[in-house]
Amino acid sequence: MNGDHGLTPAQRRAFDDWLQNIPVIILKCRTLGHEFTDWDDRRSKITRDGATGTYTIVAPCKRKCGVVNTRPCPPTAIRSRAT
Ligand SMILES: [Zn+2]
Protein backbone atom coordinates (compact mmCIF):
# COMPACT_ATOMS: atom_id res chain seq x y z
CA MET A 1 0.00 0.00 0.00
CA ASN A 2 1.25 3.44 -0.87
CA GLY A 3 -0.22 6.86 -1.59
CA ASP A 4 0.62 6.77 -5.28
CA HIS A 5 -1.73 3.93 -6.12
CA GLY A 6 1.22 1.95 -7.39
CA LEU A 7 2.03 4.32 -10.25
CA THR A 8 5.56 4.39 -11.52
CA PRO A 9 7.19 7.85 -11.81
CA ALA A 10 6.75 7.62 -15.58
CA GLN A 11 3.06 6.84 -15.20
CA ARG A 12 2.69 9.75 -12.80
CA ARG A 13 4.28 12.09 -15.32
CA ALA A 14 2.00 10.79 -18.06
CA PHE A 15 -0.99 11.33 -15.81
CA ASP A 16 0.11 14.87 -15.00
CA ASP A 17 0.58 15.60 -18.71
CA TRP A 18 -2.87 14.26 -19.39
CA LEU A 19 -4.31 16.52 -16.71
CA GLN A 20 -2.58 19.53 -18.23
CA ASN A 21 -4.02 18.77 -21.62
CA ILE A 22 -7.66 18.47 -20.68
CA PRO A 23 -9.46 21.51 -22.02
CA VAL A 24 -10.47 23.84 -19.19
CA ILE A 25 -14.01 23.72 -20.49
CA ILE A 26 -14.30 20.03 -19.85
CA LEU A 27 -12.70 20.33 -16.43
CA LYS A 28 -15.30 22.95 -15.57
CA CYS A 29 -18.07 20.63 -16.66
CA ARG A 30 -16.58 17.85 -14.58
CA THR A 31 -16.38 19.95 -11.44
CA LEU A 32 -19.33 22.31 -11.79
CA GLY A 33 -21.67 20.28 -13.94
CA HIS A 34 -22.80 20.99 -17.44
CA GLU A 35 -24.58 24.16 -18.37
CA PHE A 36 -27.61 23.91 -20.56
CA THR A 37 -29.47 26.87 -21.91
CA ASP A 38 -33.14 27.04 -21.14
CA TRP A 39 -33.89 27.43 -24.79
CA ASP A 40 -31.77 28.40 -27.74
CA ASP A 41 -33.40 28.36 -31.14
CA ARG A 42 -30.08 27.97 -32.90
CA ARG A 43 -28.83 25.06 -30.86
CA SER A 44 -31.77 23.36 -29.21
CA LYS A 45 -34.25 21.28 -31.04
CA ILE A 46 -37.36 19.40 -30.20
CA THR A 47 -37.92 15.85 -31.26
CA ARG A 48 -41.24 14.10 -31.13
CA ASP A 49 -41.61 10.44 -30.33
CA GLY A 50 -43.98 9.09 -32.92
CA ALA A 51 -45.11 6.20 -30.75
CA THR A 52 -45.92 8.04 -27.53
CA GLY A 53 -46.39 11.53 -28.95
CA THR A 54 -44.13 12.99 -26.28
CA TYR A 55 -41.74 15.82 -27.07
CA THR A 56 -38.14 15.92 -26.02
CA ILE A 57 -35.87 18.93 -25.92
CA VAL A 58 -32.38 18.16 -27.15
CA ALA A 59 -29.80 20.75 -26.21
CA PRO A 60 -26.02 20.62 -26.17
CA CYS A 61 -23.97 21.82 -23.23
CA LYS A 62 -23.29 25.57 -23.41
CA ARG A 63 -19.58 24.97 -23.07
CA LYS A 64 -19.56 22.80 -26.17
CA CYS A 65 -17.98 19.90 -24.36
CA GLY A 66 -19.95 17.46 -26.47
CA VAL A 67 -22.56 16.46 -23.89
CA VAL A 68 -26.14 16.73 -25.00
CA ASN A 69 -29.03 17.13 -22.60
CA THR A 70 -32.39 15.62 -23.39
CA ARG A 71 -35.46 16.25 -21.32
CA PRO A 72 -39.14 15.84 -21.78
CA CYS A 73 -41.06 18.87 -22.89
CA PRO A 74 -44.76 19.32 -22.22
CA PRO A 75 -46.68 19.92 -25.46
CA THR A 76 -48.28 22.99 -23.88
CA ALA A 77 -44.87 24.66 -23.77
CA ILE A 78 -44.51 24.18 -27.50
CA ARG A 79 -47.99 25.52 -28.19
CA SER A 80 -47.35 28.63 -26.13
CA ARG A 81 -44.14 29.24 -28.07
CA ALA A 82 -45.95 29.05 -31.38
CA THR A 83 -48.43 31.80 -30.55
ZN1 LIG B 1 -20.53 20.31 -20.45
> In 3D, which of 75, 61, 57, 2 has the Cα closest to residue 33?
61
Can you give the pTM of this predicted structure?
0.53
Give, as residue ranges, everything with CB less than 5 Å from ion ligand 1.
29, 34, 61, 63, 65, 67
The rounded Å distance from CA 24 to ligand 1 centre is: 11
The rounded Å distance from CA 66 to ligand 1 centre is: 7
Cβ 63 vs Cβ 34: under 8 Å: yes
1-9 mean pLDDT: 73
pLDDT value for 1: 54
pLDDT value for 40: 66
pLDDT, tens only, 29-83? 888 899 887 766 777 888 888 898 888 888 888 888 888 988 887 767 666 655 5
pLDDT, tens only, 6-26? 889 999 999 888 888 877 778
